Amino acid sequence: MALSVLARCSAPLAPAEAAAQREPPVVLVPEVPPAPVVEQKLPVVPASTSVADVSGTWVGRVSERVGDEELSYQVCLQIPTDLDQTGSIAYFDGMTCAGEIRYVGSEDMLHTFAEYLTSGNVANGGECADRGRIEINIDSDGSLAWRWFQIDEILPQATATLEAGACP
């Protein structure tokens, strides 16, 4: 018994088969106008500040949150031009503590100092922490943004905006 194979490679298709093999109709979609070009302006970032820009005497009012209580007092910060030297810090008008600051390092516009209080601190019977970390940077208006952190903390406990001036 022999089998026959019929191949229609070149044979014309019947009308129903031809319709099934046609490509789908093309649908025209109206052209969407391009979105308007929006010019994006990058924020103005002040040039990097050097330690010479932050050296000097800075004074301002500190805000500190302790539990549910908001404390407010003054700070006077003296940053030496020569960072191998120690600077000084004094808290007053609601807090009475003082000590020294030592330069730790800088990254971009952020300068970090270690604070070591020597009067009014817990070790001497006072209410202020013995040590802390201070981060500062110059704001675009020339003021000094000041943040105080407890050792090994990520969030600041106290903040202030300091202006160049003299300690009272």
Domains and CATH numbers, the chain: 51-164 (2.40.128.20)
Higher pLDDT, 66 or 96: 96
Q: What percent of the chain has pLDDT above 70?
A: 70
Cα separation values, 1 from 4, 6, 34, 98, Å = 10, 16, 70, 113
Query: pLDDT for 74-130, tens place per residue?
Result: 999 999 999 889 999 999 998 899 999 999 999 988 999 999 999 999 999 998 999
Q: Dmax over Cα atoms in the chain, in whole Å?
A: 119
For the chain, the average pLDDT equals 82
Higher pLDDT, 118 or 53: 118
* pTM, entire model: 0.69
pLDDT for the residue 3: 47
The amino acid at residue 134 is: I
